[in-house]
Amino acid sequence: MKTRNKIACSAERLGLLDPQMIQSVADGNAFHIGRQYLTENRVRIVDADDAQISSAVIGNSGLYEQTIRLRDGHLISKCSCTLPEEPMCRHCIAVLLEYHRLATPRDTQKSKAAKAAPALPNPERSREPNAPSRQPSAPDITLSDIMLFIEWLGPTMQAIEQGTEIPESPSLGSGDLSTWMTTIKTLESRRREHEKLLAHLQAEMRDREAYLGRLSQQLQASIAETKSAQAMSQSLRREVAGHKETLRQLTELTNKVIRSEGEIRSATRELLTNATHLDTLTTSFQELCTLLKSTAKPSLPKPSSD
């Protein structure tokens, strides 16, 4: 989604919009950032006249394109960004500030006194009557700037290839060349950030792999432990089964002993009974003997005394 805003504006030409007027309608934070973009040379005006500006701004997350129009007493600004800043985004503010800077005659810009009092509205100084109105940035490019830029570009490309620090950029009068240098620097710093992020992610991945390795080692150790515990439990089960068998045999033996004891007791009882019978028989026999002796005595011949 693109932002499109419409503000009532009494200025007759875009060049008459000075920083103070822009600040008076803009959001404070957006104006502050827009001015910062201007000082960082992030604005590139593609085409401009008193009624319309086409431009591009290097934002924090990419390049955004703007169209700003002055029509029927309204300032209509469009930007390819999605910022909710009202009534104008930071990019459009930066473009208007840049356009005002370029539209202001150089002698006014050079005067420190004029810069020191920016609060004074002075629409008359904004443009010479015969100043070129289209592509205000074009006349800024000088051959010496181009030479400086090319001189800077060589070691810069080398530095990018080798991953070393980009050399200090020369100060150029041309807005376009400065914008290109800023773009190159921004891209390079972003690439470095991404490299750092990548290195960080790789380190994190290595950490996680090591952690995973430790976990799998622990798992293997646990599996081995479980296996040995299973083997132990099996041998215990076998032992318990052996003990049960022994117990069963012992119980059988005990029963046998109990049975034998009963048999022994009854045999003993029988023996005792037999012994009593024998006693009785012996007594009877003795009595019989005594009786036999007494009956036999008188019939015996008297032993001779001669």
Q: By the criterion CB under 5 A, which residues form the site for Zn ion?
A: 79, 81, 89, 91
Query: In whole angstroms, what separates CA 8 from the centre of its chain?
Result: 49
Q: Which amino acid, residue 25?
A: V
First to last CA, the chain: 178
**Least Å from the CB of residue 91 to Zn ion:** 3
Q: Which two tokens stand for residue 144?
A: 């010496």
Do the Cβ atoms of 83 and 134 come closer than 8 Å? no
Task: Write out the E strands in the chain.
Answer: 3-8, 43-48, 52-58, 63-71, 74-79
Q: What is the 3-state secondary structure (H, E, C) of 132-195?
A: CCCCCCHHHCCHHHHHHHHHHHHHHHHHHHHCCCCCCCCCCCCHHHHHHHHHHHHHHHHHHHHH
**Residue 186 beta carbon to Zn ion: minimum distance, rounded to whole angstroms:** 17
Nearer of residues 95 and 166 to Zn ion, judged by Cβ: 95
Least CB distance to Zn ion at residue 88 (A):
8
Using the minimum distance from each CB to Zn ion, give the nearer residue, 80 or 104.
80
Nearer to Zn ion, 68 or 148 (CB): 68
Cα distances (Å, whole numbers) of residue 302 to 132, 291, 298? 200, 20, 9
Encoded amino acid at 153, one letter: L
Q: Supply the minimum distance, in Å, between the C-beta of residue 93 and Zn ion.
A: 9
Q: How far is the CB of 92 from Zn ion (least distance, A)?
A: 6
Sign of CA dihedral 157, 160, 165, 166: positive
Quick one: 14 or 96, whose CB is closer to Zn ion? 96
In angstroms, the CA 142 to CA 296 distance is 184
CB of 156 to Zn ion, least distance (A): 28
- Cβ at position 168, least distance to Zn ion in Å: 30
Cβ proximity to Zn ion: between 45 and 177 the closer is 45
Our CB check for Zn ion shows the closer of 156 and 182 to be: 182
Nearest to Zn ion of 1, 120 (CB atom): 1
